[in-house]
């Protein structure tokens, strides 16, 4: 049961943290609950669909079907997050400035967090499909512990995953409103770079690029990727103990693009006396 | 948020360009890539030892003959892929430096173990 719980927890952690951070970042945004709920719900539905079609997808593209799906999902997530970091953030920045001045909580008006909702849905889709597939396989197998114990493990793993997501949400909710935007925004920028690094890895696994599996360094002795802090840092910041050159280029490139674009579109530049 | 040290803006652009052209120029699957096959049966890999040439990209075909899915996973080879029941999937590995690279079936880690030996 605990082995099952651990696998399900590992799969759900990344998506749960992602959704928790996004939920904190969009506090006070009109329609946030509806949009994020929709994103997560669609992600779960998609995960079930993807898992049910797994055998068919696996056979596509000469056995690379899943990798192609993975590349597509990560690319769309990356675009959504880039869009949010570059354009969506500007709106929030202004709102945060107003909040600072007025000492009130951030009200971002009618700006619906569609891009973030889609990114949440895709995070759930990615991690969820594997979880569903694992669960389907387990309930259909002659597992020693029996189905009841397995299902208990699934529920336990999932609950702990969701609890960690809730923990980061409530943790972030304690950040003072005038600083909340900056903090969550920084977290989302780093998550975006992490997705870019995952995309680099997915492209290599799909055989679309030949980046070489030779890692640039190996820090697993220093911070093991399967240790709790390593896994957490992987989910939050894309920590990789053995990154390839392409992953690093994608990671740093994404950070640079966001920083450059934010400077370019910074409200201070097109400064107005927004009352 | 702390910003990164200011790079001249032209670098931002060239970095993106390098990344993009890199993607376009890198060769896709070549016919010359060596191919090896791995079978999953009874939550075990067959064979448990795969010898492959080093410094060359390897096309690994994994055929899951069980009625349950399995996840091929190797931290050292940076590979992770679900193999549904009855499916035959392709996994690109390497190029690998000479050495031993352990892999497991994540869903049945106790029995599903193997190693790729690059030489």
Reported as a pLDDT band with limits 50, 70 and 90, residue A271 is very low
Whether the CA torsion A96, A97, A103, A107 is positive or negative: it is negative
Whether the CA torsion B16, A212, A187, A156 is positive or negative: it is positive
Question: Could you report how far apart the first and last alpha carbons of chain A are, in Å?
Answer: 57
Residues in chain A: 275
Strand partners, B60: B36, B91
Q: What is the pLDDT of residue B2?
A: 43
CB atoms within 10 A of CB A223: 13
A82 in Cβ contact with A164 (< 8 Å): no
B102 in Cβ contact with B109 (< 8 Å): no
For residues A133 and A47, give the distance between their C-alpha atoms in angstroms, rounded to a whole number: 9
Backbone angles phi, psi at B88, to 5 degrees: -125, 115
CATH superfamily for domain B35-118: Cupredoxins -  blue copper proteins (2.60.40.420)
Domain housing A27: 2-274
Q: Helices A177-205 and A228-237: crossing angle, nearest 10°?
A: 100
Token pair of B11, please? 């670098």
- Percent of chain A beyond pLDDT 70? 85
Q: Which residues of B touch A86 (CB under 8 A)?
A: none
3-state secondary structure of A139: helix
Reported as a pLDDT band with limits 50, 70 and 90, residue A102 is low
Q: What is the mean pLDDT of residues A154-173?
A: 95
Q: How does pLDDT run across A35-91, given as a tens digit for each residue?
A: 999 999 999 999 999 999 988 999 898 899 999 999 999 999 999 999 999 887 666
Token pair of A219, please? 């820090």
In this model, does residue B95 exceed pLDDT 50? yes
pTM, two decimals, is 0.82
Query: Which one is predicted more confidently, A2 or A169?
Result: A169
Q: What is the mean pLDDT of residues B10-27?
A: 56
Strand partners, A126: none
In this model, does residue A115 exceed pLDDT 80? yes
Mean pLDDT in chain B? 81
* Cβ contact, residue pair B15, A255, below 8 Å: no
Around A239, how many Cα atoms within 13 Å sit in the side-chain half-sphere?
20
What is the layout of strands, in order, in the sheet containing B79-83? B49-52, B113-118, B99-105, B70-74, B79-83
Give exposure, B100-111, as e/b (b: 16+ Cβ within 10 Å): ebebbbbbbeee
Q: What is the pLDDT of residue A239?
A: 93
To test the contact with chain A by mutation, choose from B2, B6, B12 the residue with the greatest count of A C-beta atoms within 10 A, namely B12
- For residue B59, what is the nearest residue in chain A, using CA coordinates? A207
* Cβ contact, residue pair A137, B107, below 8 Å: yes
Domain count, chain A: 1
Please identify among residues 86-115 of chain B the ones whose CB lies closer than 8 Å to any CB of chain A: 86-97, 106-107, 109
Low-confidence winner among A211-215, A241-245, A257-261, B77-81 (lowest mean pLDDT): A211-215
Contact status of A249 with chain B (Cβ, < 8 Å): yes
> What does DSSP assign to residue B47?
S
* Cβ contact, residue pair B4, A259, below 8 Å: yes
* Cβ contact, residue pair A210, B4, below 8 Å: no
For residues A175 and A171, give the distance between their C-alpha atoms in angstroms, rounded to a whole number: 7
Sequence-ordered list of residues with C-beta below 8 angstroms from that of A218, at least 6 positions apart, any chain: A241, A242
The H or E element that residue B70 is part of is strand B70-74
Q: What is the pLDDT of residue A267?
A: 58
In this model, does residue A103 exceed pLDDT 90? no
To test the contact with chain B by mutation, choose from A58, A73, A125, A150 the residue with the greatest count of B C-beta atoms within 10 A, namely A58
* Cβ contact, residue pair B86, A244, below 8 Å: no
For residue A180, which of A18, A17, A26, A33 has the smallest C-alpha distance?
A26
3-state secondary structure of B66: coil
């Amino acid at each position: 049961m605990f082995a099952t719980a651990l696998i399900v927890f590992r799969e759900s952690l990344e998506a749960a943290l992602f959704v928790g951070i996004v939920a904190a970042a969009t506090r006070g945004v009109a329609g946030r609950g509806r949009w994020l709920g929709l994103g997560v719900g669609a992600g779960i539905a998609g995960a079930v669909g993807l898992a049910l079609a797994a055998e068919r997808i696996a056979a596509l593209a000469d056995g690379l079907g899943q990798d192609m799906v993975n590349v597509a999902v990560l690319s769309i997530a990356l675009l959504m997050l880039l869009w949010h970091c570059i354009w969506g953030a500007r709106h929030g920045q202004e709102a945060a400035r107003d909040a600072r001045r007025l000492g009130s909580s951030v009200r971002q008006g009618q700006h619906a967090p569609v891009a973030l909702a889609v990114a949440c849905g895709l995070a759930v889709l990615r991690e969820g499909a594997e979880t569903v597939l694992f669960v389907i396989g387990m309930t259909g197998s002659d597992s020693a512990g029996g189905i009841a114990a397995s299902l208990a493990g699934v529920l336990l793993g999932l609950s702990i995953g969701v609890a960690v997501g809730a923990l980061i949400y409530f943790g972030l909710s304690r950040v003072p409103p005038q600083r909340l935007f900056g903090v969550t925004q920084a977290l989302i920028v780093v998550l975006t770079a992490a997705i870019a690094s995952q995309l680099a890895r997915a492209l290599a696994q799909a055989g679309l690029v030949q980046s070489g599996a030779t890692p640039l360094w190996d820090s697993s002795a220093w911070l093991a990727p399967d240790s709790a802090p390593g896994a957490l840092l992987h989910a939050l910041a894309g920590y990789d103990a053995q990154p390839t050159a392409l992953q690093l280029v994608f990671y740093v490139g994404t950070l640079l693009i966001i920083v450059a674009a934010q400077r370019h579109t910074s409200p201070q530049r097109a400064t107005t006396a927004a009352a | 948020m702390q910003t990164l040290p200011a790079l001249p803006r032209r670098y931002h652009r060239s970095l993106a360009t390098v990344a993009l052209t890199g993607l376009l120029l890198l060769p896709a699957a070549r016919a010359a890539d060596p191919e090896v096959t791995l079978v999953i049966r009874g939550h075990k890999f067959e064979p448990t030892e795969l010898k492959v040439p080093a410094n060359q990209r390897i096309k690994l075909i994994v055929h899951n003959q069980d009625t349950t899915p399995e996840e091929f996973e190797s931290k050292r080879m940076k590979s992770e892929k679900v193999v549904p029941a009855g499916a035959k999937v392709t996994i690109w590995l390497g190029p690998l430096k000479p050495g031993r690279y352990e892999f497991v079936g994540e869903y049945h880690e106790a029995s599903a173990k193997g190693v790729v030996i690059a030489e």
